[in-house]
Amino acid sequence: MELRNLITFIHVAELGSFTKAAEQLGYSQSTISFQIKQLEEELDCLLFERINHTITLTQKGHELVSYAHRIRELTDEFKENMEEEKECSGHIHIVTPDSVCDNIITNSYIDFHNKYPEISIKFTTADTSVMFDMLDHNEADLIITLDSHSYHKDYIIAKEQPLSMHFVANADSKFAKAKKLSILDIINEPFILTEYGQGYRRVFDRELAKKSLDITPILEIGRTDMITTLVSNSDMLSFLPDFVTKDLIEAGKLCYLNVQDMNIEIWKQLIYHKNKWMSKALKTFIDYVIEKEF
Q: Over the stretch 163-221, which tens digit does the pLDDT of each residue have?
A: 999 999 999 999 999 989 999 999 999 999 998 888 899 999 999 999 999 999 999 99
Q: How confident is the model over 10-22, as a mean pLDDT?
A: 90
Best CA proximity match to 139, nearest among 293, 273, 3: 273
pTM strictly above 0.85: no
Pair type for strands 254-257 and 165-170: antiparallel
Alpha-carbon dihedral sign for residues 120, 124, 125, 128:
negative
DSSP β-bridge partners for residue 56: 49
**Is 60 exceeded by the pLDDT of residue 276?**
yes
Q: Over the stretch 44-75, which tens digit does the pLDDT of each residue have?
A: 999 999 887 789 999 999 989 888 888 887 77
Best CA proximity match to 10, nearest among 47, 51, 49: 47
Q: What is the pLDDT of residue 85?
A: 52
Q: What is the pLDDT of residue 293?
A: 65
Best CA proximity match to 61, nearest among 41, 45, 37, 38: 45
